[in-house]
Structure 1
Amino acid sequence: MTTTSPIPFTPAAPGSADAGSTGTGPSGRRAAVVAAGLALALAGCGGGADEPSGESGSDNGDGLTAITVGVQPFAELAPLYIAQERGLFEEHGLEVTVQPASQGAELITAMVAGELPIVYSNYFSLLTAADQGLPVRVFRENDRPGVQGLYVMPDSDITDPEDFEGASIAVSGLGNVMEITSRAVLEHHGVDLDSIEFVELAPPTMLQALEQGQVDAAWLVEPFATLGQSEQDVRMVVSAFEGPSQDSPVAGWATTADVAESDPEMLAAFSAAIDEAMAIVHDEPDAVAEIIPTYTEMTPELAASLGPVGYAQGNDLADLSIVNDLLLRYDIISAPVDLDSLIVDVG
């Protein structure tokens, strides 16, 4: 079984190139998203002898198909690590290596380039990539709404959603699930969206940026919400999933059209192992608290106090129409994404 080292929560130096970028108005946001899409396309369409083959997996010599999957350091990934620890992937003929990244865009880039056959990603980024013509596919749900929301420091003047007028909010990417759900929720509460500044930061850096006053609020996901509540006494002002975003799916497992066509058996095996891990998460809550400290720096005690995570027991991707609607509402995509082409049924 492959193991991974804990992912360090090391913030970027303030003012460095990695410390964050901002976007405010629709034109700036759209430009940022298009630029990201162009970067993905360039990464996936390079030529020459070093071009990735796009091969989804290889035999490891023991009769198992070796694959590498890309993830982020989120509590939502507990089922993946449980499947790895308990040998569920091996039972389905796979040897899985986990490759962490601090930003989701890095994972989609690597996937489209043929370097990773499977990645974990939020659906907003995946539908945006599909809108730009990139060959992304979705085949398995992973998580639904949980404790994600807009958090502030305990002494912040922001106490109600309406108080976000003129605020700066940390999100992991412009045009992704964090920015779009923030916009939907704040608009639902009557906030002037043109007054909001969205600051792009990697999730592990958000708590320090919040504490140092670099941003007024941050869109936090587990384990960072619980870490912030424990160490800095941050508080959630409003959930990221209410009003127009209330029933929106959040994130799942993606691949490329080439892999979906050439190796559906591998995707089915991966999905079956995740199905079994989801059942363990449901039946054995302590398993989540035990596994999270193995791939993050969270202590077992803190992991045991995590807020509820919306692990997807089933695999119903029909609600991606909500993501389509929100992306259209905020001018991130120009037309609805064809969900029949995007979604791959692996059985």
Structure 2
Amino acid sequence: MHRDDPHHRARESCRRSRRPPVQPDPLQALAADAELFERGTWVRAGPGTTRPSPEDPSPIEHTCGMLMLQSGDPVTDKGVIVRLTLRAGAAASAALLAVAALAGCGSSSRDSPAAVGSDGKCTSPATLKTNLVPLYPLVKIGNDAGIFQKHCLVVQDTPAQSPVAAIPAIVGGSQDLTLLPAANLISTLNQKVPLKIVAPGAKIPDDADSLPPAKVDAAGVFLPKGSTIKSPKELEGKSVAVPGLGTSIQFGVMAAVANAGGDPSKIKFVQLDSQTEVQQLRAGKVDAAAIATPFSTQVEKDGYTRIASPTTALYGAGLAHTPWVTSQKALSAKPDAFKRFREAILEVQAYSMAHPDEYYQAMADQSKIPLDAIKAGPGFWFATQMDVNALKAFANKLKSLGIVTQVPELDNVIATS
């Protein structure tokens, strides 16, 4: 191989280095990398990094003892990518199990059950920590309405950059709960990470097919003006912008094409941030763009044609698609707290649906999205129970789409206590 090749230079730099590689804290590293993993940028698989020199135009990250992927490579359920560059053989491969390994070294403390006096009043509440994206203000609602207090709970939320970014914190024990899309749950379970469903969360409404798509789905697949595309099937071989690779929105585009009889493997996905997606759509530089709220609301208002609704296409009407999850270790350590949480969060979600204006205001406060934009966007629905058979059917759908390579064992994924 030529010495000017960037891969050659990276290996030589690793070989000549006299200093031992920096050993990052695994939880911090995984938390930082999870967001990049979701966006399809790169995956950390070992310590130490050697980057190209400033004059090196190569977009490839060079590593010592890491498993890397190039930006734009699709993510599979193994955290491995279609176009994969392996730098450190078995050492890097073994590091793919880092997330699963953290399941055995977390810091979840033993349960301190909530204490209730003889008069039925809470004297010492149990504490749980959640890690949620700001678009889910359920902890704020539960605290403001006094529902968690009624169930002798203190629930504290720390904002998460994305659902996938919350997984390392949950597995590592620094956080207890998150709302995780079912597609990401299935992928994570396939990596042998022991997650458990504590309670149902968001769902697609049972009557989704009879409602305006923009009121059901927080995202839409839109066409440039003047496009001749009439069906999602025609997105085969076309460029489709998505805000993140390995996300439910990308999977939803694949499902929409497959549902229409097309081959989703032929889609040419382009990863762009949401604002750039809109710009490229308006300029006609992509054949379609899968755009999330609140940008989707404005695009639809401006007259761009919605060719598909990715969330609905992926999950289908009625599925509880974003459940509350925790780690097996945390559930075993704090059974009383999680039992109380399940009872409380079902009440919080029912309260939210009965008081939509309060929910929308809390969402606006947390996300900093204008209230008018939130109200103009999709509605929200929460499930009251989890159906393991529906979850199995969904996992098989992911396999048929090529998103996962196997269906994990799901019979015991729902916590029963």
Please state which band the TM-score falls in when normalised by the shorter chain. Answer: 0.7 to 0.9
Equivalent residue, structure 2, for 1:312: 383
Aligned residue number for residue 42 of structure 1: 98
* Match among 330, 334, 338 for residue 401 of structure 2: 330
Of residues 114-123 and 312-321 in structure 1, the stretch that sits farther from structure 2 once superposed is 312-321
* 338, 345, 370: which one aligns with 1:299: 370
**1:171·1:198 contact (CA, 8 Å) conserved in 2?**
no
Correspondent of 1:210 among 278, 283, 287: 278
User: What's the CA shift for 1:142?
Assistant: 1.0
Instruction: Give the distance between the partners of 1:25 and 1:299, measured in 2 at CA.
Output: 33
- Aligned counterparts, 1:74-113, within 5 A: 74=135, 77-113=136-172
Which of 110, 115, 120 in structure 1 is aligned with 2:179?
120
Are residue 23 (structure 1) and residue 73 (structure 2) matched? yes
CA deviations 1:79-103 (Å, max 9, x no partner) are 3431132221222222222122223
Change (3 A) 1:227 1:260: farther
Matched, 1:192 2:269: no
State the match for 2:125 in structure 1: 64
After superposition, the C-alpha distances for 1:111-157 in whole angstroms (9 at most, x for unaligned) are 11222111111111111111121111112111122314433265362
In structure 1, what is the equivalent of residue 334 of structure 2?
263
Partner of 1:236: 306
Instruction: State the shift of 1:325 in Å.
Output: 0.8
Unaligned runs of 5+ in 2: 1-38, 40-58, 62-69, 87-92, 116-122, 205-215
Q: 1:288 to 1:116 in 2, by over 3 A?
A: same
Displacement of 1:184 in angstroms is 2.0
- 1:321 is aligned to 392
Determine if contact 1:226/1:302 at 8 Å carries over to the other structure. yes
* RMSD (CA atoms): 3.9
Q: 1:251 aligns with which of 322, 327, 341?
A: 322
What secondary structure, in the 3-state scheme, does the structure 1 residue paired with 2:377 have? coil
Q: 2:244 aligns with which of 166, 172, 186?
A: 172
Q: Using the alignment, how far apart are the partners of 1:334 and 1:111 within structure 2?
A: 24
Gaps of 5+ in 1: 1-11
> % of aligned pairs identical?
19
1:203-262 deviation line (CA, Å, top 9, x unaligned): xx42443324586544445455336546x6655321225667424442111001111222
Contact kept, 8 Å, 1:23 with 1:29, in 2: the verdict is: no
Paired AA for residue 134 in structure 2: P
> Which residue of 355, 359, 365 corresponds with 1:288?
359
Q: Measured at CA, do residues 337 and 24 of structure 1 come closer, stay the same or move farther in structure 2, by a change above 3 Å?
A: closer
Corresponding letter in the other structure for 2:308 = V
Counterpart residue identity of residue 321, structure 1: K
| Paired AA for residue 172 in structure 1 | G
Per chain length, whose mean CA-contact separation is higher, i.e. which structure has more relative contact order (CA < 8 Å, sep 6+)?
1
Alignment deviations for residues 171-194 of structure 1 (CA, whole Å, 9 cap, x no partner): 5341x4333332122022233323
> Structure 1-normalised TM-score?
0.76
Distance 2:79 2:235 in 1: 19
Are the aligned partners of 2:220 and 2:310 in contact in 1 as well (CA < 8 Å)?
Answer: yes
TM-score w.r.t. the length of structure 2 is: 0.65
Matches within 5 A, 1:132-147: 132-145=191-204, 146-147=216-217
Query: Aligned AA for 1:67?
Result: L
